[in-house]
Amino acid sequence: MIEPRQRLPVTPRTGRFLVLAGVFVCAACGLVYELELVALASYLIGDSVTQASVVLSVMVFAMGLGSLLAKRLRCRAAAGFGLVEAALALVGGCSAMALYAAFAWAGDRGEMWAGGSRYLFVAFSLAIGVLIGAEVPLLMVLIQRVRRQDAGGAVADLFAADYVGALVGGLAFPFLLLPWFGQLTGALLTGAVNVLAGGALVLGLFGRDLTARGRRLLLAVNAVVLAVLATAAVHVDDFERAARRAVYGSDVRVAVRTPVQEVVLTGADRASLRLFLDGRLRVSGRDERRYHQALVRPALRTGRHERVLVLGGGDGLAAAEALRHAGVRRVDVVELDAAVVGLARRDPVLSGLNGHVYRDPRVHVTQADAFRWLRGPHRRTYDVVLADLPDPGITASTKLYSQEFYGLVARVLAPGGRLAVHAGPAATRPHTYWTVDATLRAAGYGTEPYRVTGRRGGYAAGPDRIAGPGGAPRDWGFVLASRGRAGAGGDRDCAVLRAGTRAAERVRPAGWRALPPSTLVHPRYAG
C-alpha cells in the first residue's frame, strides 16, 4: 500500500534525503550498541566467541520481533518512531553503565554475577534488538509519505542507507569511540546522537503529523533522555572509580586503558601487590615467586641456557627468575603491551619485585605480538623458551597455544633446547590443560606435564573474570617440552619437576593421550 503524501516544510527531494540521513544515523547508533554489548560481555564475562554469539543471535531474533510489533504503530508512524528512538537512546546509552554496575556490585566480587545475573546481558540484547527492529517498518511508512514510490524502491533506499550507516558505526566503535571515549562515555554519546537524530527528524519533518500535545510530549521525553545521558556523562568518572574499587578493592594505584587491554595495579607493598590485565589476575605478590620458580627452574636446571626467550612476561618476573641461574647471558622478552613493560620499569613496587630487571644489560625487550614475531626472520636461536602467556581458555590467547604456534617456537629453539609452557590450572580445567600437552606432542615435542599446588590468589586468572568457588583447589599447570625427544629431558633432581609430575598424574583424565590438538582453524580450549 502506498501512503498518501504528507504536507512537508521542505521539498520532497529534501525530505527524502533527510529521512535517509536519519536512517543512516540511527543504523550507525544501533550497530554501536551491538558492538558495545559484545565487547562488554567479552570483557566482563570472558570467552569472546560465546558472548558474541549469544548477544548477536539474541539481538537478531529480537529485531525480527520488533519488526512485527511495529506493525501496530504504523497508523502513528511519526510519533511511534520518535518514541522508539528515545527509548533506544536511553536503553542503549545507559546499557554499559548498568551492566558494569551489575558486575561490580552483584555479590562478593562477582560470585552472584557468575550465575543468574549473566541474563542481564540477554535482557539488554533483547530490548535493544526489539527497538532496532521497530525502526525500519516505521521509516518505511515515513519515506512513503515524503514521495510516492513502489515498495521495492523504498525498501532498497532504506536498506542502502541502513547498511552504509552500519558500516560507519562499525568502524567508529573500535577506531573512534572506544579509544577516545571508552565504553561508558562512548555509549552515552551514541545515545545522545541517537535521540537528537530521531527527535529532529520527527519534529522537524513530520511535526504536522502530531497534535500540539503530542509534540510537547515528544519534546519532554527527548529532553528527559538527554538529561539522563548528560547527567550520567558528568558522573561517569566517579562511577568508574567507585566500580573499580568494588571490583579490585580500595587500594587501586594504577588503572589505565591501553590499546591492548585494561591494566590495573593494586597494593602498596610486595605482599599486597596484584597486577590485573583485563580484570584477570596476572601477578600476585604472595604467589609470584612460587609461580615463576615453577615455570623457569625445570627448564634451566638441565642443558645449555645461555640464551633465554620469554614470550609474554612483560612484568619482568620470569626474566628476573631466569637471571638467577648462572650462565644466562641474554634474555629476550617479547611483550605485546608496552604499558606493562613501562609499569615494570617505573612502578616502585613492581620494579622492586622484579629486582629492576630491565636495568640489566642482558635483558632486551621487543614490543610485538608473539605469534607475529615468531613468524618473522630470526638469526638467533635460544636454549630455553618460556611461554609466560595468558590462560589458554581466553579466546584471544588460543592461537598462542596452537599447534602452529609451537611449530614456530621450534624454529627458534637450539638443538636440545627446552620450552616451558604455562598451561592453566590442571585441577579445575583438566580438559584445557591436557589439550595443551596434546598440542605440544602433535607439534613434535616430547613433554613432561607438571603441576604446582598452593596458589593463594583469590581472583580469576583464567578465561572468566570471577573467582572460582571458595573450596576449589587452586594450582598452576605447566608443561616442559623438548623437540624430538621421547621425554622433555627435565632434570629429575629438580624438586619442582619431581613433585609436579606426580601431582599432574593425580589429575590426569582417562583417554588423555587421545585428546586432539588445538589448531588455528579448530581451537579446542573451550569447555
236-291 pLDDT, tens per residue?
Answer: 999 999 988 888 888 899 988 888 888 999 998 988 899 998 888 889 898 899 99
- Please tell me the least confidently modeled range out of 24-28, 84-88, 467-471: 467-471
| The residue to which cell 621425554 is assigned | 487
Looking at the predicted structure, is the pLDDT value of residue 491 above 90? no
491 catalytically annotated: no
SS3 276: strand
Residue 297 is predicted with a pLDDT of 93
More confident residue, 308 or 301: 308
Reference 81, options 229, 228, 213, 204; nearest CA is: 204
Radius of gyration of the chain (CA): 28
- Give residue 485's pLDDT band: very low, low, confident or very high (50, 70, 90): low
- Give residue 468's pLDDT band: very low, low, confident or very high (50, 70, 90): very low
Question: 250 CB contacts (<8 Å, ≥6 apart)?
Answer: none
Residue 117 is predicted with a pLDDT of 59
498 vs 480: CA distance, rounded Å: 12
467 vs 110: CA distance, rounded Å: 8
Number of H helices and E strands in the chain, helices first, is 17, 11
Angstrom distances, CA of residue 453 to CA of 125, 126, 462, 467, 473: 40, 43, 16, 17, 8
Residue 3 is predicted with a pLDDT of 44
6 secondary structure, DSSP code? P
Amino acid at position 228, single letter = V
Question: 152 CB contacts (<8 Å, ≥6 apart)?
Answer: none
More confident residue, 171 or 281: 171
47 vs 25: CA distance, rounded Å: 31
Looking at the predicted structure, is the pLDDT value of residue 36 above 50? yes
More confident residue, 38 or 187: 187
Residue 470 is predicted with a pLDDT of 44
- Give residue 394's pLDDT band: very low, low, confident or very high (50, 70, 90): confident
462 vs 45: CA distance, rounded Å: 11
- Determine the average pLDDT of the residues in 20-32: 95
Residue 110 is predicted with a pLDDT of 40
List, as one string, the DSSP characters of 78-133.
Answer: HHHHHHHHHHHHHHHHHHHHHHHHHHHHSTTTTTTTTTGGGHHHHHHHHHHHHHHH
- Residue of 332, 388, 437, 475 marked catalytic: 388
Looking at the predicted structure, is the pLDDT value of residue 420 above 70? yes
In this structure, the number of other CB atoms found within 10 A of the CB of residue 264 comes to 21
Beta-sheet strand order (sheet of 280-284): 252-257, 262-266, 274-277, 280-284
- Determine the average pLDDT of the residues in 95-103: 90
- Determine the average pLDDT of the residues in 468-489: 69
User: 102-141 in b/e burial notation, b at 16+ Cβ within 10 A?
Assistant: bbbebeebbeebbeebbebbbebbbbbbbbbbbbbbbbbb
Show the 3-state SS of 344-376. Answer: HHHCHHHHHHCCCHHHCCCEEEEECCHHHHHHC
Residue 258 is predicted with a pLDDT of 87
351-386 pLDDT, tens per residue?
Answer: 999 999 999 999 999 999 999 999 988 778 999 999
What pTM does this model have? 0.83
More confident residue, 58 or 396: 58
List the grid coordinates of 246: 568494588
Residue 447 is predicted with a pLDDT of 94
Bridge pairing between strands 280-284 and 475-483: unpaired
CB 5 within 8 A of CB 147: yes
Looking at the predicted structure, is the pLDDT value of residue 424 above 50? yes
- Determine the average pLDDT of the residues in 142-157: 78
Question: 220 CB contacts (<8 Å, ≥6 apart)?
Answer: none
- Please tell me the least confidently modeled range out of 3-7, 140-144, 243-247, 365-369: 3-7
Q: What is the mean pLDDT of the chain?
A: 87
List the grid coordinates of 251: 587500594
CB 110 within 8 A of CB 103: yes
